[in-house]
């Protein structure tokens, strides 16, 4: 899966334009059960690309810091018991909720130009040379991405900006409370039978 995080060098707001995509389809579907969420599959490799753009030409940008933060949500609730939460991170080898991505692991800048309403739009992208692997834990997480960049303009002026996005992430089916009228224990848990158990062939 590829996370693309885009910003305009002159934008006023802090929100990144973001997209998760994979070869077998969209990683953040617009329709269906997982609409509006990032839908991970077990064993998936997650890559990151950051793209800066602007109608004015600029020299480059560099990543000063980059963090992917996962806030675990409830996966099981039973009367008289404490709620069970997803693990801190859906990614293998990550003990806590925050993945700090080293700025020096972003590859060299790649420049491109395109036409937008008759105006030339300049973009520079940098791809993370490493990746994260989605683990085998099912659950739901609020996913936050925080990016600090230093933009160098053609005049030599440098601007430091912080950009963010904050969608919802799912590994497996999330939480689906059962019909309480058909159960004796009143337990609401993730249905393991609906978990996506691996990558498509």
- Locus of tokens 């491109």: 112
- Locus of tokens 């269906």: 32
What pLDDT, in 10s, does the model give residues 52-63?
999 999 999 999
Of 190 and 51, the structure prediction assigns the larger pLDDT to 51
Helix, strand or coil for residue 182?
A: helix
Of all helices (H) and strands (E), which one includes residue 70? strand 58-72
Q: How far apart are CA 150 and CA 11, in angstroms?
A: 14
Q: How far apart are CA 197 and CA 194, in angstroms?
A: 9
What pLDDT, in 10s, does the model give residues 93-115?
999 999 999 999 999 999 999 98
Confidence category of residue 178, pLDDT binned at 50, 70, 90: very low
| Boundaries of every domain in the chain | 2-194
Whether 152 and 158 have beta carbons less than 8 Å apart is answered as: yes
Confidence category of residue 31, pLDDT binned at 50, 70, 90: confident
What contacts 44, CB < 8 A, 6 or more positions away? 1, 22, 133, 134, 199
User: Strands 45-54, 119-127: parallel, antiparallel or unpaired by DSSP?
Assistant: antiparallel
Residue 168: its pLDDT value, please?
A: 62
Average pLDDT over residues 78-107: 93
What contacts 136, CB < 8 A, 6 or more positions away? 42, 43
Average pLDDT over residues 119-130: 95
Whether 33 and 39 have beta carbons less than 8 Å apart is answered as: no
What pLDDT, in 10s, does the model give residues 143-164?
899 999 999 999 999 999 999 9
Residue 176: its pLDDT value, please?
A: 40
Residue 180 is classified by DSSP as G
Q: How far apart are CA 157 and CA 136, in angstroms?
A: 46
pLDDT at 37 over 90: no
Confidence category of residue 39, pLDDT binned at 50, 70, 90: confident
Q: What percent of the chain clears pLDDT 70, i.e. is strictly above it?
A: 80
Tallying the residues shown for the chain, one arrives at 201
Mean pLDDT of all residues in the chain?
83
Average pLDDT over residues 152-179: 74
Helix, strand or coil for residue 181?
A: helix
Two tokens, residue 3: 């996370």
Q: How far apart are CA 188 and CA 201, in angstroms?
A: 32
Average pLDDT over residues 32-51: 85
């Amino acid at each position: 899966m590829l996370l693309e995080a885009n910003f305009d060098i002159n934008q006023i707001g802090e929100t990144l334009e973001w997209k998760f995509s994979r070869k077998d389809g969209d990683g953040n579907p617009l329709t269906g059960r997982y609409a509006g969420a990032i839908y991970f599959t077990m064993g998936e490799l997650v890559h990151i690309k950051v793209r800066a753009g602007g109608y004015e030409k600029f020299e480059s940008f560099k990543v000063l810091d980059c963090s992917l933060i996962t806030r675990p949500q409830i996966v099981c609730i039973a009367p008289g018991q404490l709620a069970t939460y997803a693990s801190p991170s859906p990614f293998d080898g990550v003990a806590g909720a925050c993945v700090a991505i080293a700025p020096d692991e972003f590859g060299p800048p790649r420049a491109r130009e395109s036409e937008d309403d008759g105006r030339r739009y300049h973009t520079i992208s940098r791809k993370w040379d490493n990746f994260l692997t989605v683990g085998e834990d099912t659950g739901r997480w609020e996913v936050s991405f925080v990016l600090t960049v230093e933009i160098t303009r053609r005049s030599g002026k440098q601007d430091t900006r912080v950009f963010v996005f904050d969608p919802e992430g799912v590994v497996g089916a999330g939480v689906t409370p059962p019909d309480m009228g058909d159960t004796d224990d009143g337990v609401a848990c993730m249905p393991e039978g609906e978990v996506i158990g691996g990558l498509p062939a």
